[in-house]
Amino acid sequence: MNCDLCGARMATQSGFFTTKEVVTSQDCWELYLRNEMNAGLIDAQNIDVLKWRVVKIALQDTPLALCYLCANTAIHAGLNSYSSLSEIAASGHALCRRIAPMVFESLDEEGMELAEKAMNSAATKILEDNKKDVIRNQWSRGKICYDFPNLDECMGSRDGFIALKAVIDERVGEEVVLFIRDQTPFMEKLKSVAPFRFMMKNGIGKTSYGNLIFFLFWVDDPENSKKPISMWDWFVNPSEEYYADLLDKMSRQSHWHLFLVGKDNQQTNFFEFKNNYEILDVLELAKKTGVIENAESMKSAILEFQSQYTLDDMYNMGSAS
């Protein structure tokens, strides 16, 4: 069985999606086009050829079966995932039909227009990214089990969030990899959340020691839209060379990779997210306002900030990515 979006071979599908949702999603098109470009099958600048890619997918009359990574991208983009064909109509999904070689008839004019718009937007985004120094680190080798170092060396015995430089794909080289560790029974619930929507917001908090950059990460609760299932704070000092490089890589990576780690330093799940996380804005603001540079002052500022603001307070500040 092959994934209907990226063509990767898979033992079992990770989710079913309607043709219209997939073909009108810019995120899905970016995933599809990048895979086609990496395989040398298309040139993103040739839009006249690309429009036939819309037809190719829009002709699908049955639900699209996606692999683990494509399904995760689709879910994070807001698409509805179905675990079995019994949950969704077996046919009637096509947006067009072929009536002759290279000739088709539209069954859903609005859907086809939205699909071509999404494809063009994706192609434009890819061309823009090609002009930047982007770290293209999309994982394309199926499910991953990474033998990462013992997190005790970086975190001690505590649980929480940490970002580390690592190499998980030799073709890409060093990237920033994210870890959430929870050694309690709660990890069993967290690793099974579906859809797993990993969110972030950042900001600058004023303390008596100076301005403090903070990040808040959370996972949406599918059963409760008013409060996340869990949250983690993270504080960095961009004036330190290590963190400046770490944040730079995070901003330029095409994707973010997140490992969930449970008891005994064991991986419990792995997720890949398209990098729509805005971290450059807060860094630009930090350049203008200044940040704490002294390490001891940084520690004191974090303690002061945490004594004044809870995770719920941080969650209710500003907007999210």
Query: What is the distance, to the nearest Å, from the Cα of residue 49 to the centroid of all Cα atoms in its chain?
Result: 28
The encoded tokens of residue 90 equal 């077996």
* Per-residue pLDDT at 17 exceeds 80: yes
Q: Which of 82, 136, 116, 80 is nearest to 274 (CA)?
A: 136
pLDDT in the model for residue 318: 57
Q: Which is higher by pLDDT, 193 or 241?
A: 193
124-132: average pLDDT? 76
- pLDDT single digits (tens) 38-72: 777 777 566 667 888 899 999 999 999 988 778 87
> 15 - beta bridge partners?
66
**Is the model more confident about 12 or about 300?**
300
Cβ neighbours, 10 Å, residue 20: 20
pLDDT number for residue 295:
84
Confidence of residue 186 (pLDDT cuts 50, 70, 90): very high
Length of the chain, in residues: 321
Pairing of strands 15-17, 64-66: antiparallel
Which residue type sits at 125?
K
Given the DSSP bridges, would you call strands 255-261 and 175-181 parallel, antiparallel or unpaired? parallel
Is residue 179's pLDDT more than 70? yes
215 or 291, higher pLDDT = 215
Mean pLDDT lowest for which of 22-31, 98-107, 127-136? Answer: 127-136
Q: How far is Cα 129 from Cα 316, in angstroms, rounded to an integer?
A: 32
- Residue-wise pLDDT for 189-216, tens only, equals 999 999 999 999 988 888 999 888 889 9
Across all residues in the chain, what is the average pLDDT? 86
In this prediction, residue 75 carries a pLDDT of 84
pLDDT at 231: 97
- Residue 217 pLDDT greater than 90, yes or no: yes
* Residue 316 clears pLDDT 90, i.e. is over it: no
CB 207 within 8 A of CB 198: no
**Cβ–Cβ under 8 Å, residues 108 and 18:** no
- pLDDT for 23 equals 95
Is 11:2 a contact under the CB 8 Å cutoff? no
Confidence of residue 11 (pLDDT cuts 50, 70, 90): low
Query: What would the mean pLDDT of 7-12 be, rounded to a whole number?
Result: 72
Spatial distance between the Cα atoms of 54 and 94, rounded to a whole number of angstroms: 11
Q: What is the pLDDT of residue 132?
A: 67
Predicted pLDDT of residue 34: 81
Q: Report yes or no: 107 and 95 within 8 Å, Cβ to Cβ.
A: yes
Distance CA 218, CA 311 (A): 10
100, with CB counted inside 10 A (0-12, 13-18, 19+), is exposed
What is the pTM for the complete model shown?
Answer: 0.63
